[in-house]
A and B are shown apart, each in its own frame.
Chain A
Amino acid sequence: MMDARTQLLSPTHWRWYESLLWIGVFALPALLPSHSLIINEIAIVALFAVSLDLVLGYTGIVTLGHAAFLGFGAYCAALFAKFIHPDPLLGLIVGILAATLLGALCSVTILRGSDLTRLMVTLGVALLLLELANKLDWLTGGSDGLQGVVMGPLLGRFEFDLYGQTAAWYSLSVLLLLFGLARRWVHSPWGATLIAVRDNPLRAAAIGISVPSRLAMVYTLAASVAGAAGALLAQTTGFASLDVFALERSADAVLMLVIGGVGWLYGGVLGAVVFKLMHDIISSITPQYWTFWMGLFLVMLMLIGRERLSPSHWLKKTKGDQA
């Protein structure tokens, strides 16, 4: 039997096949330059799904309004680039900080109540922001979206090209960085207390964990990550439109987690890849009816069970129960 310390530390180790996987992912924009745009898009929604996994998967906070932070990060980064400074990294930081602030503010709304209340409150906040962005058209461009966002070169050297290669590498780098951070978080003592709160809030309080403070912390942190995803979205597309706040954005991220697996950081990434590729492939075959096939896939997934349907299960089996 493995000793206690080795066992506790084992999920935190970075495996060789993970390095291989990420190297492969980073090679993609070079190998398939014409697909850089979709790679960029997948990296961004994967980051968004990972952020949602922190609140939904690890802490059990049910939300249908996570796009609030994605959208806020997107608009703040776009406005910053348009009116203040075109540097992408500065804009990214601004997007993250703005979403963090909003997350801290909104965390008050999820401290109390049942899952249903949280579902409604989070949905409400996202709708509120959507309507605000619509109404403040002198600033945000209203329903036309915020246009004319021109980004400066990344690190002062790499221009954003039309094919989106730079964009893809930029988004992948931010994804990897924040994924690594999130991984550290969920395997820390703090991360373990989040799982405790999810599993049994009553007992969590009875062992001295302040449940409200944990909820507020993780919600704020996840908002930062979602804000980063939003900033990337606005910067790499040069555009911010109202749909970043839309219910579909939040719901899609939930679907991605369901597809890839909740409470498992790679689940968000895997779900994003599957979801986006399916969307892309099916809608190129039947542009009007892609949601039919998506719906069919989801129903099958739920009825048959993800475990028996997807390779993530077999991957997980050989890996134990990790990351």
Chain B
Amino acid sequence: MTTTVLAAHGLVKRFGGITATDHVNLSLQLGARHALIGPNGAGKTTLINLLTGVLPPTEGRIELLGEDISHLPSHARVARGLVRTFQINQLFASMTPLQTLAMVVSQRRGLGARWWQRLGQDAAVVARCEELLALFRLTEVMHQNTAALPYGKRRLLEMAIALACEPKVLLLDEPVAGVPAGEREELLQTVAALPADVSVLLIEHDMDLVFEFADRITVLVNGVVLTEGTPEVIANDPQVKAVYLGHGEEVRA
């Protein structure tokens, strides 16, 4: 028995005359490692923005754990366990990684409106921060200013923030984009080490990562779902090869 944690039904988004997302159906199973691939301009980021509530859908419905969340604002979806990372780092420049995570963990635990407490007063929050810092290899830079961190570390912080939100469903938008080769391995390991009970939707251009990571792949072209299947099926699909992977090229599965 599989449980669907996140489902999109007939999702449509039009910008004027352009249909960026065209009747997309997508479902994510509990504990899934699901990848969303597609050429540039396929509408991957639009889809993520629809799922997370940054953009309102023109048509269609989004369900999280059986609840209709189509009209909830972003922050309310996060509170229900739908969390994302960004393709371009979205960090808090004036805070240190430690302060950032302490703030996020406090917020997640419902302490974010407490103006009478001190940040760091709650020992459980601090313990969780230390755990996350270690998990994302940020312990040695936790007191440094975020703006001054090396790019790879900032990328790790980007993911640590998302995990600090205790997601049930995690949308990873190109986690290794722009990361130099030297810092890549560290990042890939943390992606592989994400908790098994967190369902992950990975948007990625890097085919090595996709085929290594995913147990299911959806191919998006021009806002339409072209096909969906296991990595083997996708790798051998002639249609996919034609539009995305290039003609006649063998893909490692």
Chain A residues in contact with chain B, CB under 8 A?
1-2, 4-5, 7-9, 12, 184-185, 187-193, 195-196, 198-200, 202-203, 205-211, 217, 263
Contacts and interface: CB of A to CB of B under 8 A. Distances in A.
Given A5-B123, A203-B161, A206-B90, A191 B106 contact: no
Contacts of A193: 103, 106-107, 112-113
Given A4-B133, A208-B112, 10 more contacts: A4-B129, A8-B118, A195-B92, A199-B94, A203-B86, A206-B83, A207-B107, A207-B162, A209-B107, A211-B75
Given A200-B92, A202-B90, A206-B78, A192 B115 contact: no
Interface string B115-148: 1111111010010011001000000001100000
Closest 7 CB pairs of A and B: A8-B120, A208-B78, A189-B106, A192-B103, A203-B90, A190-B115, A199-B92
A1 B106 contact: no
Interface residues of B, number: 48
Contacts of B52: 206
A149 B236 CA distance: 87
A8 B98 contact: yes
Nearest to A221: B115
B98 A9 contact: no
B149 interface: no
Interface string B69-102: 0000111101100011010001111110011101
B111 interface: yes
A190 B113 CA distance: 5
A92 B143 CA distance: 42
Contact of B118 (A1, A188, A202): A188
A187 B121 CA distance: 11
Given A200-B92, A203-B90, A188 B126 contact: no
A198 B103 CA distance: 14
B75 A189 contact: no
Nearest to A203: B90
B191 to A, nearest CB: 19
A9 B90 contact: no
Contacts of A210: 73, 75-76
B101 to A, nearest CB: 9
A2 B92 contact: no
A195 B94 CA distance: 8
B108 A208 contact: yes
Contacts of B75: 205-206, 208-211
Nearest to A199: B92
Q: Of B103, B143, B164, which is in contact with the most chain A CB atoms at under 10 Å from its CB?
A: B103
A207 B179 CA distance: 23
Contacts of A184: 115-116, 118
B240 interface: no
B50 interface: no
Contacts of A211: 75
B97 to A, nearest CB: 10
16 contacts: A5-B120, A7-B120, A8-B119, A9-B121, A184-B116, A187-B118, A189-B106, A189-B111, A191-B119, A192-B95, A196-B95, A196-B100, A203-B86, A207-B161, A208-B108, A210-B76
Contacts of A198: 94
A206 B126 contact: no
Contacts of B115: 184-185, 188, 190-191
A2 B143 CA distance: 9
A23 B117 CA distance: 26
Nearest to A190: B115
A188 B103 CA distance: 9
Given A205-B75, A208-B75, A208-B165, A189 B112 contact: yes
Contact of B119 (A192, A203, A208): A192
Given A5-B120, A5-B123, A199-B92, A207 B78 contact: yes
A223 to B, nearest CB: 15
A283 B91 CA distance: 46
B104 interface: yes
Contacts of A4: 98, 102, 120, 126, 129-130, 133, 142
Nearest to B79: A208
B117 A7 contact: no
A187 B119 contact: yes
A261 to B, nearest CB: 13
A188 B130 contact: no
Contact of A189 (B107, B123, B164, B165): B107
